[in-house]
Amino acid sequence: MKTFACRCEDVTLYELDRAIAEGYRDIESLKRYTGFGTGICQGKWCLALCASRLAEKGGDASQPMTPRPPFHPVRLATLAALTDLGKR
């Protein structure tokens, strides 16, 4: 039975543990090697689990993951308009 650490990218706990054992001992290199946190949720669902698993195995989970821009480009005007939502 597979236990998923990252549902978006289908990264299992086994793959995560294997990567840590192979020497990927910080959150950024673990993310780049396994692909966790690069799916549609951008780590919102899996980062805490993966970071705690890394820390349990003696790795360094203290540094943040490098954020990436949205998958689909968003116009700045669209983002700026979001501040108007609270004024309605």
Question: Mean pLDDT score of the chain, rounded to an integer?
Answer: 88
Q: What is the mean pLDDT of residues 8-18?
A: 96
Supply 71's token pair.
Answer: 């998958």
Return the pLDDT at 13: 96
pTM: 0.72
pLDDT above 90: residue 85: no
- Residue 61's Cα: distance from chain center in Å? 12
CATH code of the domain occupying 4-87: 1.10.10
What are the pLDDT digits (tens) for 16-54?
999 999 999 999 999 999 999 988 888 889 999 999 999
As a whole-number percent, the residues of the chain with pLDDT over 90 amount to: 61
Q: What is 19-59 written as a DSSP string?
A: HHHTT--BHHHHHHHH-TT-STTTTTTTHHHHHHHHHHTT-
